[in-house]
Structure formats: structure tokens, C-alpha cells
Structure 1
């Protein structure tokens, strides 16, 4: 594979390519961020950027300033299915971190589906984001691969100047000593059910919802993800 170039999206043809990329990732029935909206938000200080290979947009990130100074909200991150497994998702996020820090932004937050182990591994384990907030049916009814399911999400916080995040950005993975922690494992093979078995997927969603909300209610925060056990790691000593 040619070396990927990471840069801001430029021109309506590339913004339309970002629309097409979203449909390829989330399904034809999903509603992509419109190209003209992304262009305007970018012009007013938001981030609309991507990974380009041989001039083709293969990954995409879209975020915008929040009402809190120094805090950006990440709305979308996507990599084309055929380009996954090459580290592009993490590389796009590290590009986002550099982009934000040069503009005085030190905190990025976003949501993701807590049943997706791949996303948990990227956001929590590789990037060092953390969470104390579970959002029930956040977007309401949506189409695509989640049609017919409550759109539950974890709200995560990524503190860009955190020493642990900085170490991870340099490939230095720092182990933390914790005295009080608990683990919540993902339901077995849950990803294979999504889009194929709505009844079993819904049961898995509700079970995970209860387990994560109970942990948060007990004063724990998600501070890690064990990829081998597919388990969220909760601690008391690193609140989000």
C-alpha cells in the first residue's frame, strides 16, 4: 500500500467523497454528514480531514468546536472496510490530536457504540480516552447496521495533554498500578450478531447497558480496555 497522506479535505469533490465513504461504512440507508455542511463547519474552525492513498479518500474525521472553550466534539470517524487493519484509524486520530493542540484545543469528546470491541480497543486502549457516561438510545431510531436497535453510546473524553496520552502517541504504553478495579466483558461474539439477529443483539445490548451503568453508578470510570479479554477496565482513581 502506498503511504497515506493525512490532511484537511479540500473542495466539494472531496467532500462528496466523504459522503460516499460514510455510506460505505454505515450502510446505504444511513444519513451521511452533507458535504456542504462539512465545508462550512471547516471554514468556521471545525475539522474535516482524511487519510488519502494515491489521491483517494480512504479515511475520514469530522469534528467541531463545542460550547466549552478548548473542547472539540468529534462527530464522525470512519475508514473504508477494505482499508481496515492497517492502523489508519489510529493514525487519523493522532493527526486530529496534532491539529487540535496547534489550535489550543486540549480536550476532545465523542460517542461510540460500547458493543464494538474494535472501537473500544482503539479509543480506550490505544488512544487513552476514558468515560463515566452512558447514553441510552442517544440518537433515537437510526438506520443502517443498527436499524431496530436502541442507539446506546458511551461518551468518552480524550485529554490531549495527559501524560499517558502523550506516551501512547509516541508508542510508549505505560502500565498503571491500580488497587481497586473491576471488569465488564463484552457479550460473546456480539459483533457477528449485529445486522443479522436483532433479538439476540437487543438482549446483548440491554445486558451490557445494565452492567456498564451499574459500574458508573458505583463510582467507577472506564480507564482501559483489555483487548484479549474484550473487557472494559473500570477504576476509581482516574475519573473522567
Structure 2
């Protein structure tokens, strides 16, 4: 596997096409013009290559506080961790101490990757972050997003625990949605929200609103999300 910063015109165009393919849209997710502007402003698009095949890409830019904002990332299965480490190396090499990005709170595999594999923490829930989206993956759903904060200077040890305590909310499928033991909160999301969307837009909407209710209330009272279990339970703890 090879990782490289991409700055040439054909390479940038190839990444723009790759992003559009992953998000199942004929429209630009990030246009070639936007990617060139990011590069010119000191950001970077990093590609992952298996031979000549582009199997992953991520684009980030520097913020006024010296952190890096990772705008987008996509990769073939098994490539994401190494790609994120390559982006970390680029950021640390330029003096960044932290990185942040957003993701859909209902996508449990992304949550586990971010919180458990990378050791990042979720610090913010934003309702309808982008407004209406028209790509093939998100169309018809509200674009709620969680903000991830990744400390690039040290590794965080993640602690997973089984959901415990009182059930405080029920999920759209009738099973427990949220539990609390008085200190921690656990919140469950679907195993595969993309499949849920395909089968029932109404059920996906119900999951969105249910999870939103747990997270917004928790973050308003000083919680952050620190882990995600294999069976779809977020763990939230006080800061």
C-alpha cells in the first residue's frame, strides 16, 4: 500500500471522481476546483494506492487554532486506518496537535472506527449539519452529525462496558434505546442504517429523531461519547 499527497491536476480530478462514486452521485462531493483551492491554501488530499488503483482518499485543511479539519475520507475496506495514520503523519509534520471531523451518528461502523480504533472522542452533536443532501447515500435523510476530536499527541485507552442500569428510552424497534447507571449513558443505533434507509425512510427518520433526543440532552449536560460496542451501543461519559 502506498500513500501520497496528491497535487497534480489529473490526480485531483481522479480523487473528485472517486468521492462521487463512493457517495453514489453524479454531482461533485468536493469538486476538482475546491480540492485545488484546499491544496493552494495549505491543506492536502492524500490518496491510498494499491498498485495503480486508488483505494482511498482523505482531504484536510488547517484551522486558525493550528488543528486540522478532515473534510472528507473514504476508503476500501481495510485501508481506512492506514489512510488516517498517513493523514495524521502529514498533520503532525506541520505542527498540528489535534484533528477533527464529522460523521453520521447512526453509522455504527464509523463510530467504532473513530472512537475505538483511533481513540478519538465525540464532543458535539449538530442537528442537520449540511441541510438537505442529494447524494445516493444520504438522500431523504436529515444530515445530523457528530464532531470527533482526535488528539494527535497521545493515545487514549478506550474502555468498553456493557449497557447497564435503567432503561430511559425505547427505540423504534421496541427494544431499549438508552440506559443509564447514573454516571454513564448508553445509546443504541441500528446495525446498518444504510439498509434501514433503503427499506423504510420513515423508520430511518424515527431512528434519527430518537438518537438525536439522547445525544442533544446528554451533551447539554456535559457528556462526551467515548466508545462504541460491536453491537451498536455508544458509551457516553461526563467530561
Q: TM-score, normalised by structure 2?
A: 0.85
Work out the number of aligned pairs and report it.
218
Contact persistence 2:108–2:190 (CA under 8 A): no
SS in 1 for 2:128: coil
Q: How far apart are residue 30 of structure 1 and its match?
A: 4.6
Q: Establish whether residue 76 from structure 1 lines up as the match of residue 72 from structure 2.
A: yes
2:54 to 54, 57, 78: 57
Q: TM-score, normalised by structure 1?
A: 0.84
Root mean square deviation, CA, Å: 1.9
Query: Larger strand proportion, structure 1 or 2?
Result: 2
1:212 to 211, 215, 230: 215
Q: How far apart are residue 58 of structure 1 and its match?
A: 1.3
- Where does structure 2 lack aligned partners over 5 or more consecutive residues? 162-180
Question: Where has structure 1 moved over 4 Å in runs of 4 or more?
Answer: 175-179
Matches of 2:69 and 2:9, distance apart in 1: 23
Residue in 1 aligned with 2:201?
198
Residue in 2 aligned with 1:44?
41
Contact persistence 1:23–1:32 (CA under 8 A): yes
- Where does structure 1 lack aligned partners over 5 or more consecutive residues? 165-173
Contact persistence 2:125–2:216 (CA under 8 A): yes
Matches of 2:29 and 2:185, distance apart in 1: 37
Query: In structure 2, do the counterparts of structure 1 residues 225 and 49 end up closer, same or farther at CA, with 3 Å as the change threshold?
Result: same
Matches of 1:74 and 1:195, distance apart in 2: 28
Query: Larger helix proportion, structure 1 or 2?
Result: 1
Matches of 2:37 and 2:56, distance apart in 1: 20
Q: Establish whether residue 66 from structure 1 lines up as the match of residue 63 from structure 2.
A: yes
Q: Summarize the alignment of residues 101-116 of structure 1 with structure 2, pairs less than 5 Å apart.
A: 101-116=92-107
Summarize deviations over 1:131-150 as a string: whole Å, max 9, x none: 22110001000112211211
